[in-house]
Structure 1
Amino acid sequence: MEWLKNNKKNLLLVGIDGCGGAGKSTLADHILSIATEGIVIHMDDFYLPSHERKEMPDIGGHFDWKRVLHQVIKPLSERSPAEYQRYDWDHDELAEWHHVSASGVVVVEGCYATRDDLRPYYDYTIWVDCPREVRLKRGLERDGQEALPFWLDWMEQEDRYIEIQHPRDQVDFIIKGTRNN
């Protein structure tokens, strides 16, 4: 990751995308271990509360990409601090606010993080590639077998995103999510 080590900017905004279970969070944590200052912002914090979800979601599943754009990505891309309200998965509602300074490495990681509407704002974009069966296995190991219907629906929404927006073909780097290092 020479691009990270050679960074001379005060703020570096990085988007990490890929399907569920591909290894995006692991990569984000690795990037922060190299950076002298930084934070990871998870797209999971921008899930829509159930009362706001549509039966057939737009591209990007039930993630509020407009909120991540306006609360985080746009301000940071303008080198201004950002504040966002986290989605609480247990209570299905927006929870506490988080402050993000406009310095260091800010990684936005998660499914749909580099969708067409968000990609132009990043300094670097990364796609984490991983076979479907590995991702499903990882997801079920983490969430339990009872989550299989959720994962199958989730994967169907991801397939639609990939088919329409081709995010893998439009990023700066592709990383294999099956590597152990």
Structure 2
Amino acid sequence: MVTIARRRPALPCGTRVVAVDGPSGSGKTTLAAHLEAHLRRTGGHVVVVHMDDLYPGWDGLAAAVTLLSSQVVEPLAQGRDGAYQRYDWARGAYAERHEILCATAWLVVEGVGCGADVIRPRLAALAWLEADRETRRRRGLERDGESYAPHWERWAGQESAHFAGHATREHADLVVDTGQ
């Protein structure tokens, strides 16, 4: 993944954006953490953005893609700093602001929607992670607890519609089945 990204041009400000997309519970956060550790060892300044910090609630997948594009990726593509406000799920409101400096060498974005068609042209690499539905649901509930259970189907419906409309898997540089 890093090799692919290094072969492609950075954004005008010097940032390479790597996206880790796929359905909930497929292992995106884990892969992003490994990418971050690897990139830090090789000396690059790395920022990780979790889409969970952008979704404005359980019905916010589409809105988060727009926020990622307009507030983070496009400013970097124009040679300016990007920024976003973290969504506080407990309060149901946006919280503190996070700056992403144009001088950032690597931006790793993980979460459902980060490989959307509006963002894809700005990516240095896109990974797609997947696993069977039962494995993903089990992982999601282990990670987020039973509070996630009533929202699983609601979120899965948004994911399905989003992925069908954006053909994310078909555009990925790397496809990994994490359920094996």
Residue 163 of structure 1 pairs with residue 164 of structure 2 = yes
For 2:78 and 2:33, locate their aligned partners in 1 and report how far apart those are by CA, in whole Å: 24
The one-letter amino acid of 1:117's match is: V
The one-letter amino acid of 1:163's match is: A
SS class of match (1:74):
helix
Residue-pair matches, total: 171
Query: Paired residue for 2:22?
Result: 18
Structure 1 residue 174, shift from structure 2 partner: 1.3
For 1:49 and 1:141, locate their aligned partners in 2 and report how far apart those are by CA, in whole Å: 20
Structure 1 residue 173, shift from structure 2 partner: 1.5
For 1:3 and 1:63, locate their aligned partners in 2 and report how far apart those are by CA, in whole Å: 31
Assess if the C-alpha contact under 8 Å between 2:130 and 2:177 holds in 1.
yes
Runs of 4+ in 1 over 6 A off after TM superposition: none
Percentage of pairs with the same residue: 33
Structure 1 residue 76, shift from structure 2 partner: 1.7
Assess if the C-alpha contact under 8 Å between 2:77 and 2:122 holds in 1.
yes
C-alpha deviations, 1:70-104, integer Å up to 9, x for none? 11011122342212111111101011111112222
Structure 1 residue 126, shift from structure 2 partner: 1.2
For 1:38 and 1:28, locate their aligned partners in 2 and report how far apart those are by CA, in whole Å: 11
Any residues of structure 2 matched to 1:20-169 within 5 Å, and which?
20-35=24-39, 36=43, 37-48=45-56, 61=61, 63-102=63-102, 103-169=104-170
For 1:15 and 1:32, locate their aligned partners in 2 and report how far apart those are by CA, in whole Å: 12
C-alpha deviations, 1:135-169, integer Å up to 9, x for none? 10001112233532201211122122223322100
Assess if the C-alpha contact under 8 Å between 2:4 and 2:124 holds in 1.
no
Single out whichever of 97-106 and 22-31 deviates more from structure 2: 97-106
Gaps of 5+ in 2: none
Single out whichever of 128-137 and 161-170 deviates more from structure 2: 161-170
